[in-house]
Amino acid sequence: MELYFSPLACSVATRIALYEAGVDARFVEVDPKTHTLLEDGSPFSRVTPLALVPALRTDDGEVLVENAAPTDVRGRERLQQWLCFIGTELHKLVFAPLLDASAPAGAREYALSKVAVRFDLLSRHLEGRDFLLERFSVADAYLVTVLSWAVATPIELGSWPVLAAYVARLRKRPSVAKALAIELPLYQAELARHAA
Ligand SMILES: N[C@@H](CCC(=O)N[C@@H](CS)C(=O)NCC(=O)O)C(=O)O
């Protein structure tokens, strides 16, 4: 199995899920600016047409994309509900414009205007709970990844103490801590590459 990832991008969630599942995988780094593989410079669009991480190549050669496409039969409806909420309401609506340096100011203001109601909802749900569902799931892997991006945006996560505590707690979970410890230096190397 191969995971195509970019450092600290949403593909962190897939890396965490692979660690949680104890799956042995090869991690193939994709440069998010050039959309090429670091190992040989080949275009990532040869793997997946939109050239978006994560992409997972299974041992039989199938390429799976989309964070919200896991196999998890228990609590499937609620899991799908949270994955869609994270993917559409947080990742793409709020964080994508805030993290995209080419987004116009109006897009960033619009994104910021969407934060409070969504974070309030999430905070109410997570109050008194360890995870989104009864146990750790891929939705938590995705949520901790996305909420961790807040430090690179004007969003003050501390204004939602329940969310700040959730992120701090999950970042200590071994699979999450390992994923972030591996990807942080890769992200710093990526920044240095593009600053040069
Ligand atoms: N709908 C996709 C979105 C994936 C996505 O937006 N990936 C970002 C990283 S978080 C990416 O590859 N960006 C590179 C680009 O936009 O060119 C999913 O949920 O997996």
Return d(Cα 25, Cα 11) in angstroms, integer. Answer: 13
52 Cα–ligand 1 center, Å? 4
The average confidence (pLDDT) of the chain is: 95
Q: Rounded mean pLDDT of 143-159?
A: 98
Ligand 1 pocket, mutate which of 3, 28, 37, 52 (most atoms under 8 A from CB): 52
Q: What is the pLDDT of residues 22-42, one digit of tens each?
A: 999 999 999 999 999 999 999
Give pTM, 2 decimals: 0.91
Distance CA 61, CA 65 (A): 13
For residues 187 and 38, give the distance between their C-alpha atoms in angstroms, rounded to a whole number. Answer: 13
As given in the structure block, the two tokens for residue 74 are 């228990």
- For residue 54, the ligand 1 atom closest to its alpha carbon is 20
How many Å lie between the centroid of ligand 1 and the Cα of residue 51? 8
Q: Which of 125, 135, 142, 11 is nearest to 87 (CA)?
A: 142
Look up residue 112 and give its amino acid.
L
CB atoms within 10 A of CB 49: 10
Looking at the DSSP bridge assignments, the partners of residue 5 are: 29
pLDDT of residue 68: 78
40 vs 196, which has greater pLDDT? Answer: 40
Query: Is pLDDT at 72 greater than 60 in this prediction?
Result: no
Give CA separation, 189 vs 10, 25, 121, in Å: 18, 22, 36
> Is a pLDDT exceeding 70 seen at residue 187?
yes
In this predicted structure, the answer to whether residue 182 has a pLDDT above a threshold of 70 is yes
Structure tokens at 91: 């990742």
| CA nearest to 148, candidates 102, 187, 103, 104 | 187
- The radius of gyration of the chain's CA atoms, rounded to the nearest angstrom, is 17
